[in-house]
Structure 1
Amino acid sequence: MPVSPDMAEDLARTVGSLYEQAEIALLERLRTDLAAGIDSPMWVNQKLAGLGDFQQGIRTLLDGLQTDTDGALREAISQAYERGQQAAVAELGALPVGQTAAAAEALPGAAVVDRLAAAVVGDTGPVYQRVLRVSVDVYRQTVAEAAASALTGAETRRQAAARALAKFAQRGVTGFVDKAGRSWDMASYAEMATRSAVGKAAVQAHTDRLEAAGLDLVVVSDSPEECPLCRPWERKVLSIGGSGARTVEVQHATADDRTVTVHIAGSLADARAAGLQHPNCRHRVSAYLPGVTQRPPAQEDRASYEQTQQQRYLERQIRTWKRRAAAAMDDDQRKAANAKVREYQGRVRDLLAETDGLPRKSHREQTGSAR
């Protein structure tokens, strides 16, 4: 059974959902705290006096999020590693009995799970501090802008607060920037990091099992709508432990008196370094048994790569306007935000109608419900 990062995507989605729920809860906490008593002449004093309570409420929310996600993260990575091991065992039935037995013997995965979980915790740890700091800053800034606008008569206090919250919701809770300079909202960044980790766990377990059975070669699948980074590696044979492109004569997988000529395009590590099996990648690798394994067939694209990226853009816009609805200060703003949600959902339907069966992924349009 071939393995790829997306075979454990559902596990990452569970963790991502926790962050989405926290994101919506945080926006709603901001909205309700700022809206309380907004027409009172003492509103500014009340809000500044209540800043400590607001800060403690956000800290409690984040503490709960960290507790929930740490456990869910380790469970997801552990399950992904197990899936990868099972995938390797399932595809090695054609091997001689000794090799099959070696592949079927469970490998200890605790060290791999611990390492991958620690990496994600390390990556997402700064997010928690930034969420707390940014939330307090937005609270203070909204109070200040609302007070100043009311004094100048430019707009009402409620209008100014609504404008500030809408701007915050538009960019996401954190506006987090990673080491590569890319901007992420909290939920998207955490899910990306988790999805990458569970994908690595599944692939690592798969290759660990193959090596335990004495196998060094894998073949890459062909995936429709592939990205430019992955395209050069499609349907190619790669080495788990070797390096460099080469043509070799190897032992037939099941016949002791035969050899097979195999062209190896490079190592699996080389291919990954070049972009293969990145987060969201659907390319699978499976054991390549010389003389037995057939190259995977080429698949017809259902859409262009550019259309798949357009779909992801529209999904992000849907999530953005759902956040705007959660942060809306009144019913008119909420209705307007929900109308934008429906507009972008319609654009998704129109885009998919132009393709040859590209599926709609509704889960990527969702945000969590406040808990």
Structure 2
Amino acid sequence: MALYIPDPDIPAADLIDDLGRVLAERYMNAEDALLREVAVRAYRDIELQAKLNRAIASGSDRVSGLRYALDRNRQLAELDGHRAQALRDLQVLARTTADQLRAENLAEGVISAATTQGEAEAAARLSMARRLPARTTLNGSATQATAATQLSLQSSLEVLNQRITRLPQDAFKRVVAMNSSNVLLGVQTKLQAQYANVQQFLSEGVGGFTDRGGRNWRIGTYAEMAGRTTVARAFNDAGVWRMQQSGINLVTVQGSLSSCAKCAPWVGLILSTDGTTGTVILPHATQDAEVTVTIAGTLDGARNAGCFHPNCSHKVSAYLPGLSIPQAGFEYDPKAEWARTRQREIEVDIRAAKRKQATAGDPVTAQRAKAKVRAKQAQLREHLDLTGRKRNSAREQLAFADGR
């Protein structure tokens, strides 16, 4: 990744979305490239099977005799050789792709950017206070505070890298299995139907894996989730580290109107990072006075209760007594959460229709998929007009991650 220059004015949610999209696009592009290679070999396999099926069908004519047997054996050998070579080629491509992804050090780049931005934003906020409990010369950075987060992301991405090394071979074997019984039974199937099976399979893509909770993830979807989650954690941890260096152990949670039921109760509350709770009296951040502050809980307690969950973009900022104004009057709005969730669902549908259009094997199928794209885009516009939410066109592109 390119050198990241922090900008305290960039909203944290935008940073989290952008860095999550970096990972999603990189892994989804890798998956798409491998699936295209699978498609080339899969269609070749169908053609060879069609030749063999025709040979089997013509075998009913006993006049062909020995020539039929020789042709059939030759075509079987050609089909077997093609499949063996295809698997070898796909294995090499998969290993090369996984090695390239590892060499890019995506986890290091993404977490470094989040850490730098979180520390910069905290420093900018602290600069507004003339009186701080402690002033220290910062000899280090927040890198140590976010080291565990980087390792967590590296571990998650390595799971994807290992899945990628198996993806094309597994996909090719599944395509072969769709039609192999036709050859073994000597049944003449329609070539168009076989192509349709392959196109449907490739348009849906290959599931990355199933997590412990039983949820199925596409490779790009999981990369985005892991990226967003760890970026948010690194951003917050870096900011907290910088605050603590200046003696600030209080933060306040900031969130959006579409916050989920787990996060909404914590928005606007004052939390401590050192375990302090209850009502305390603290020095004013800018005046020679004291301020009474009610600390609702701890940051760890909020996390344990479900706030800052996977894919969450909520952030914490330094609470400066007498100066900071926490978000007030915030209540959970199920309609706002539904509006956000429904927008994501329609975006998924748009990408699915675009993928079918891209893998269509004939003009009629492509035209139907194109019409579906337009219909879903119209549905999205209607939803945005109804709810007042903003459109994020990047999430409608094929380069973005598929999956619900």
Task: Give, in angstroms, the shift of residue 108 of structure 1.
Answer: 2.2
Task: Give, in angstroms, the shift of residue 224 of structure 1.
Answer: 1.1
Q: In the superposition, relative to structure 1, how do residues 74 and 204 fare at CA in structure 2: closer, same or farther (>3 Å)? A: same
Q: In the superposition, relative to structure 1, how do residues 334 and 176 fare at CA in structure 2: closer, same or farther (>3 Å)? A: farther
Local SS of the residue matching 2:47 = coil
Q: Establish whether residue 35 from structure 1 lines up as the match of residue 43 from structure 2.
A: yes
Q: What is the distance in 1 between the residues matched to 2:145 and 2:355?
A: 36
Q: What is the distance in 2 between the residues matched to 1:335 and 1:44?
A: 33
- Do the aligned residues in 2 keep the contact of 1:235 with 1:296 (CA within 8 Å)? yes
Instruction: Report the AA paired with residue 363 of structure 1.
Output: A
- Do the aligned residues in 2 keep the contact of 1:5 with 1:200 (CA within 8 Å)? no
Provide Cα deviations, 1:214-239, integer angstroms capped at 9, x if missing partner: 11111223521111111111211111
Q: In the superposition, relative to structure 1, how do residues 340 and 38 fare at CA in structure 2: closer, same or farther (>3 Å)? A: same
Q: Establish whether residue 53 from structure 1 lines up as the match of residue 89 from structure 2.
A: yes
Q: What is the distance in 2 between the residues matched to 1:346 and 1:86?
A: 41
- Work out which of the residue numbers 146, 153, 166 in structure 2 matches 1:133: 166
Q: What is the distance in 1 between the residues matched to 2:254 and 2:161?
A: 38
Percent of paired sites with the same residue? 33
Provide Cα deviations, 1:276-308, integer angstroms capped at 9, x if missing partner: 233443433222122222233557979621121
Local SS of the residue matching 1:184 = strand
Alignment of 1:82-161 (within 5 A): 82-96=116-130, 102=136, 105=138, 107-149=140-182, 153=187, 155-161=189-195
Q: In the superposition, relative to structure 1, how do residues 200 and 234 fare at CA in structure 2: closer, same or farther (>3 Å)? A: same
Task: Give, in angstroms, the shift of residue 97 of structure 1.
Answer: 6.2
> Higher RCO, 1 or 2 (CA under 8 Å, sep at least 6)?
1
Instruction: Report the AA paired with residue 59 of structure 1.
Output: R
Q: In the superposition, relative to structure 1, how do residues 302 and 86 fare at CA in structure 2: closer, same or farther (>3 Å)? A: farther
- Work out which of the residue numbers 54, 61, 66 in structure 1 matches 2:102: 66
Give the superposed CA RMSD: 2.9
Q: What is the distance in 1 between the residues matched to 2:361 and 2:92?
A: 22
Q: Establish whether residue 184 from structure 1 lines up as the match of residue 220 from structure 2.
A: no
Q: Establish whether residue 365 from structure 1 lines up as the match of residue 373 from structure 2.
A: no
Q: What is the distance in 1 between the residues matched to 2:208 and 2:19?
A: 25
- Work out which of the residue numbers 230, 235, 255 in structure 2 matches 1:202: 235
* TM-score normalized by the length of structure 2: 0.79
- Do the aligned residues in 2 keep the contact of 1:38 with 1:158 (CA within 8 Å)? no
Structure 2 residue aligned with 1:296: 327
- Do the aligned residues in 1 keep the contact of 2:27 with 2:219 (CA within 8 Å)? yes
Q: In the superposition, relative to structure 1, how do residues 6 and 268 fare at CA in structure 2: closer, same or farther (>3 Å)? A: farther
* TM-score normalized by the length of structure 1: 0.86
Task: Give, in angstroms, the shift of residue 358 of structure 1.
Answer: 0.4
Q: Establish whether residue 173 from structure 1 lines up as the match of residue 173 from structure 2.
A: no
Runs of at least 5 residues in structure 2 that lack an aligned partner in the other structure: 1-7, 52-74
Q: Establish whether residue 287 from structure 1 lines up as the match of residue 318 from structure 2.
A: yes
- Do the aligned residues in 2 keep the contact of 1:27 with 1:326 (CA within 8 Å)? no
- Work out which of the residue numbers 319, 328, 340 in structure 2 matches 1:308: 340
Runs of at least 5 residues in structure 1 that lack an aligned partner in the other structure: none
- Work out which of the residue numbers 18, 27, 40 in structure 2 matches 1:10: 18
Q: What is the distance in 1 between the residues matched to 2:200 and 2:167?
A: 15
Structure 1 residue aligned with 2:109: 75
